[in-house]
Amino acid sequence: MKRIKFDFNNLFSTGLGRNNGVTEREIQEKKGDILKAQAHLRKILSSKQARVSLGLEWANLPFQEKKTIDSIQSLGNKICRKYEHVLFLGIGGSYLGLKAAQDALAPAYYNDFKAQRKKLPRVYFEGNNLDPSTLSAVLKNLNPKKTFVVVISKSGETTETKAAFLVVKNWLKQGTGKLFGRQILAITDPKSGSLRREVDAAQKKDKFSFPSLPLLKGVGGRFSEFNMGLLHLAIIGVQVSDVLNGARQMARECRKKEIFQNPALMYALLMNILYERKGKAIAVLMPFSQALKSTADWYIQLLAESLGKKYGRKIRIAPDGSEVWEADRKAVLNAGRTPISVCGTGDLHSIQQNNIEGENNKTITFIKVENFKQDIRVPKEEDLLGEKLYSKLLSLALEATEWALVREQRLNCTIILPEISPFYWGALLFFFEMACAFEGELLNINAFDQPGVEGYKNYMYYKLGKKGLPLEFAKTIKKFPLIKKKKYII
C-alpha cells in the first residue's frame, strides 16, 4: 500500500532566501521544543482520561471496534434501502466534514444524476446557516414520506441547527403523521442536552422513534468526522472501515519520533518556524482537484478554531495528578495563522496574482493527486493541447505554479495523494488533525477549545431572552453596546 507523501522542498532557504525560507539550522534549534511537544502529546494520548478531559479523544477514533463500525455501516444500508432522500442538519464540523466526504468520495454530481448514485439516496445539508431561502427550497421539493432526517448537535441548542430542526420536524409531522419521529435520527450527547432529552422522551412513547448515535466525549466538532460522519459515509456508499484504516495508518506515521519520518510533525514544525520567525501568517490550502475543495473548506475551521487563540496556555496539575488547561490571562498572544481555501486550477486565475505579487506573508500548501479514477484525453487537433490527458495538464499546471512561486521567493509545499479514495482521504484528514495538535503544542495554546466562538452565540441568546444565561453575559453586553451612527451608513 502506498502512502501520502509530504514534499517540503519549496519551504527551505535554498532558492527562497534566508528571510523567507527555513534553514536546517532553524530546525535543529527547535529540536528541544519538538521533543517536548512529542513527549507531552504522547503522555496525554496514552491515557483515556486525559484524552477525554482535554479534548483529544479524536486521536483514538481510527482505532474504533469493528462491531461499532459494522453496526453503523448496517444502519446506513438500512436507511438507503428505505428512503430516496436524506437530509442532514448540522453546522461547523457537523456540516463541513460531511460535505468534504461527499465531494471527495461520492461520484461527481452525485445528487444530479441517478446513474452516479447507483440507487443510493440523494443527500442534502441544512442547519448550517440562517438563510431562509435554502431550507425552504429543499423542503418545497422533497417528499416528506420519502425523506430521512439526521440531526447532529451535541447540546441541541446551537441556533442554526436548532431552528432548522424545529422547521423540519414540523414539515415531517404535517407530511407523514404522528409517527414522524421514526424518520429522524439524532447524533448527540449520549447523556445530556436538550436534544438528548427529546430523544429519550420520544423513545419512551415509541421505541422506534428518534434512534440515536453518540457524539463521544472529548471529541470537538471540528475533529469529529470519524465519529459523527460515519453514518453519512455509509449512506453515500463508502466502506467506513476503509476511511478509518487510512486514518489508522497515518496515526502510526505520526507516532514516529524522528522529525524527518513524521509528516504531520514536520508540517507543524515548518509552519511554526515560518509563522513565528518569518511572518508568514496566511495559510493557503490549494488542492489541485475539485473533489477536494470542500476538504480545504473543512481545514479552514480546523486551523482557525484550533490555533486562533487570544491567550497562551497554563497547565495546572489537579490533586489526582491530571492536567487542567487554563487560559493564561497574562500571556496575550492573539496567535494563529489565517487559513484560506482555494482550488487549482480555477483559482490560479484569481488569487494567484496576489500569491505571486502581493504581500509575501503566505505559505501555500498544494494537494496533488497522482492518479484519477477517470481521465479525459483532448481530441487530436493541430493544437498544443491535442491528445493531452487532463490529468497530465493538471500536473503540469501544478508544477508551473510551483515554479512561478519559487521564482518570486514565495513559499509552497505539496501533500501528495496516490489517489482520492476512502483510505487516503481518511489519512489526509488525520494528517491535518495531528499537524494542528503538534502546532498547538509549539505555540503553547489550547488547540481544542473555541472560546471566541461563544461571543456571538451568547449575544443571540441574550437578545432572544434565553433563560439561565450567566449574569456576566448580560453585564458584558450592556457594558459594550453595539453602536450604529447614521452618518456612517450611506
* Residues with active-site annotation: 305, 349, 457
Alpha-carbon gap, residue 306 to 289, rounded angstroms: 25
The β-bridge relationship of strands 282-287 and 362-371 is parallel
| 3 state DSSP class of 7 | strand
From the list 39, 100, 112, 3, the residue with the least C-alpha distance to 416 is 3
CB 13 within 8 A of CB 21: yes
Query: Exposed, middle or buried by CB within 10 Å (0-12, 13-18, 19+), for 19?
Result: exposed
Ramachandran category for residue 484: left, alpha or beta (phi over 0 → left; psi -120 to 50 → alpha): beta
In angstroms, rounded to a whole number, what is the distance separating the alpha carbons of residues 9 and 150? 44
Strand order in 147-152's β-sheet? 122-126, 85-89, 147-152, 184-188, 212-214
Instruction: Give 377's DSSP letter.
Output: B
Rounded Cα distance between 204 and 21, Å, is: 62
Please return the burial class of 199, using the count of CB atoms within 10 Å of its CB with bins 0-12, 13-18 and 19+.
buried
Cβ(154)–Cβ(222) under 8 Å? no
* Nearest of 163, 152, 232 to residue 195 by alpha carbon: 152
Task: Give the three cell numbers for residue 219.
Answer: 471529541
Question: What is the side-by-side strand order in the sheet with 282-287?
Answer: 5-7, 411-419, 362-371, 282-287, 338-341
Of 169, 182, 180, give the one whose Cα is nearest residue 211: 182
DSSP structure string for 311-340: EEEEEEE-TTS-EEEEEEEEEEEEE-PEEE
* The three grid cell numbers given for residue 238, joined into one nine-digit string: 463508502
Dihedral sign for Cα 441, 446, 449, 453, please: negative
Query: For strand 212-214 and strand 184-188, is the pairing parallel, antiparallel, or unpaired?
Result: parallel
> From CA 405, how far away is CA 357, in angstroms rounded?
9
C-alpha neighbours within 13 Å on the C-beta side of residue 85: 15
Question: For residue 443, what is the DSSP state?
Answer: H
